[in-house]
Amino acid sequence: MQFSVKITEYQKNLMLNICDADLLGKNIVQNELTMTISKSYYGDQIIEEDEAKKLLENSTIINMVGKNTISLSLELGIGSENGIKKISGVPFLIVFKM
């Protein structure tokens, strides 16, 4: 399983943008709502599951998109089912760790 990620520092926090690699570059549309999964936001590098786990555990702000990404996050106890939203069946979740 591969993931596409971009890591930045934001106000002294590690911010992780992560998505299922196969979603990179796609536009998800539902009615008048469009979510662009752009390379500039999610696409600095492609990583494998072990590296994704480490990044999810060590990041304080996480923007994630995709079934595999969110399943992995929930498996690690990061985020909750209640916070997941979907656009055309594609789940996304934003987590702020305190």
CATH assignment at residue 29: 3.30.1860.10
pLDDT for res 87: 95
- Contacts of residue 87, defined as CB under 8 A and 6 or more positions apart, other chains included, come to 28, 29, 30, 33, 35
Q: What's the angle, vertex CA 92, arms to CA 48 and CA 8, rounded to 5?
A: 60
Q: How big is the chain, counted in residues?
A: 98
Percent of the chain with pLDDT over 70: 100
Query: Over 90: is that where the pLDDT of 12 sits?
Result: no
pLDDT for res 11: 84
Number of domains present in the structure of the chain? 1
Q: What's the angle, vertex CA 33, arms to CA 27 and CA 34, rounded to 5?
A: 15
Predicted TM-score (pTM) of the model is 0.93
- Domain extent at residue 36: 2-96
pLDDT for res 35: 93
Distance, in Å, from the CA atom of 33 to the CA atom of 67, rounded to the nearest integer, reads 19
